[in-house]
Amino acid sequence: GQNIDQPTEMTATEGAIVQINCTYQTSGFNGLFWYQQHAGEAPTFLSYNVLDGLEEKGRFSSFLSRSKGYSYLLLKELQMKDSASYLCAVREGGGNKLTFGTGTQLKVEL
């Protein structure tokens, strides 16, 4: 089984940088995903890490350390529209099943 931990809530200022952490425990790690979910909407794919290191995609970056069971999502130049829940999900083994964390609710303020 898997255990995935994320902070429940975070608040940040427009234009700033915020880092959302995710820690996991799994017996057969095979990739980590970040999704963004606005209230009342479906999750949308942000990033995928399977090897250690940083993956950058525009204002969003995701980092993975497999030895530490740790990932973070970095959001730069925050905008009001970035207010959403950010879900960390882990793939275990060779199948396609993902286990999701409960999400981090990010609030961007002026």
CB of 4 to other proteins, least distance (A): 8
Burial class (CB in 10 A: 0-12, 13-18, 19+), 37: middle
Q: Which one of 1, 40, 53, 58 is in contact with other proteins (CB under 8 A)?
A: 40
CB of 15 to other proteins, least distance (A): 29
CA triple 35-14-22, angle to 5 deg: 35
CB of 64 to other proteins, least distance (A): 14
Q: Which amino acid is at 1?
A: G
> Is residue 87 a contact residue for other proteins (CB under 8 A)?
yes
From CA 71, how far away is CA 14, in angstroms rounded? 23
From CA 104, how far away is CA 31, in angstroms rounded? 19
> Is residue 10 a contact residue for other proteins (CB under 8 A)?
no
Q: Which one of 19, 25, 30, 65 is in contact with other proteins (CB under 8 A)?
A: 30
Q: Which is nearer to other proteins, 74 or 99 (CB)?
A: 99
Burial class (CB in 10 A: 0-12, 13-18, 19+), 52: exposed
Site of interaction with other proteins (CB under 8 A) = 30-31, 33, 40-45, 48, 87, 89, 91, 96-103
